[in-house]
Amino acid sequence: MVTINCAYTESINPPSAHPTLTQSQIWRGLQRKIRHAQDFVPVIEGTDVIEEKDAGREVTRVAHFKAMGERPARSEREVCRSFAPTRVDFWQPDGALITNTVSDGVGLTEHDYNMTYTFEWRYPEVEEGSEEHGRLVQQSRKEAKMAVHSSIESMRRMAAAGELD
């Protein structure tokens, strides 16, 4: 069995970004992502919320993933735990964890935020150091970048349309 850990970080409000996202808009975007992941991550085609607990801080959902490369389409039950205003953890039954983190940027100023997605993927059938392991590491890195970038761009579109106010 192999566990692949990877992370990708992107600035949420680089100088060219418009509109500039506020911390509250970003948090509302992450909460919407829990319930409507398909609006943020292209590889997800639908999300079904099964249960909400603790005033919405814990949501159990089923995310429906499209086929991608050699990976067939699949549905994954996830427990999503929110830690306002900085983090959402997505736990899968096999112990895999995806974390979405909003952090302050180097300037520690208003609107200077970064988005980091951290992935801990488990592959029980893959051997450590194998060619398949290397391929999965590279694939995971590309998918992490795509997920962060598309999520930020989705939040920006939603904010421009007044959907995160």
The reported pLDDT for the residue numbered 42 is 87
Fold for the domain defined by 2-160? Alpha-D-Glucose-1,6-Bisphosphate; Chain A, domain 4 (3.30.530)
* Residue 99 pLDDT greater than 80, yes or no: yes
The reported pLDDT for the residue numbered 69 is 73
pLDDT digits (tens, 9 = 90+) for 102-124: 999 999 999 999 999 999 999 99
pLDDT digits (tens, 9 = 90+) for 28-67: 999 999 999 999 988 899 999 999 999 999 999 999 999 9
Q: What is the per-residue burial (b if ≥16 Cβ within 10 Å, else e) of 6-45?
A: bebeeebbeeeeeeebbbebbbbbbbbbbeebbbbbebbe
Rounded to two decimals, the pTM is 0.93
